[in-house]
Amino acid sequence: MRAFTKDRLQKIFNFASQVEVGTAGELRFLERYPCLSRKGLKECDFAMPNGQWVELKTDSRAEVDTGNFFFEVHSNLDRGTPGGPWQAYGKGADFFVYQFSCGAEWWFPCEPLILFLEKTNLQWEAKKIGNEGWAAAGLVVPVAAVKHLSVEVPVCLAR
């Protein structure tokens, strides 16, 4: 995987407002899939009725605005802690679900997504996201480049 530089950041995100975005996304997700069980902070976000686990990432932007995913590689760049699908996989997630603010969502099996991103990482724009006190880092990947990895909503969740 590529190295991310630790140069100065131009934009700093407010952690509290990002938590609000995530919380709103989780509520929207639970409304859509009421059979899910909420898990704890150290676990994946949700358990499915069939025993599989889901990690949800909510983007504050709309898919139509950017046409891109932002897959976080490091949740804390200085510490090198895994982020996004890597963090989800490390917690035991079967699926990494990427939800845009418009409600569009993409379901990815964790392992194939990670393998693809690691194989192709030099093709995508590397970007750092500043928070108050630390920076995250990830890859800006066009939706079209990874949509072949997405799967239908699992049958146990279909209405």
Across residues 6-12, what is the average pLDDT? 58
| Tens digit of each residue's pLDDT (9 = 90 or more) over 24-77 | 889 999 999 999 998 876 788 999 999 999 999 998 887 777 899 999 999 989
Assigned token pair, 55: 């990690």
Query: Where does the pLDDT of residue 102 fall: very low under 50, low under 70, confident under 90, or very high at 90 and above?
Result: confident
| Tens digit of each residue's pLDDT (9 = 90 or more) over 122-144 | 999 999 888 777 888 999 999 99
Q: Can you say how many angstroms the Cα of residue 2 is from the centroid of all Cα atoms in its chain? A: 19
Question: For the whole model, what pTM was predicted?
Answer: 0.87
Helix H, strand E, coil C: the string for the chain is CCCCCCCCCCCEECHHHHHHHHHHHHHHHHHHCCCCEECCCCCCCEECCCCCEEEEEEECCCHHHHCEEEEEEEEECCCCEECHHHHHHHCCCCEEEEEECCCCEEEEEHHHHHHHHHHHHHHCEEEEEEECCCEEEEEEEEHHHHHHHCECCCHHHCC
What's the confidence (pLDDT) of residue 84?
96
Across residues 100-110, what is the average pLDDT? 92
Across residues 104-128, what is the average pLDDT? 95
Across residues 100-108, what is the average pLDDT? 90
CATH number given to 12-157? 3.40.1350
Is residue 96's pLDDT more than 90?
yes
Which residue has better confidence, 156 or 58?
58
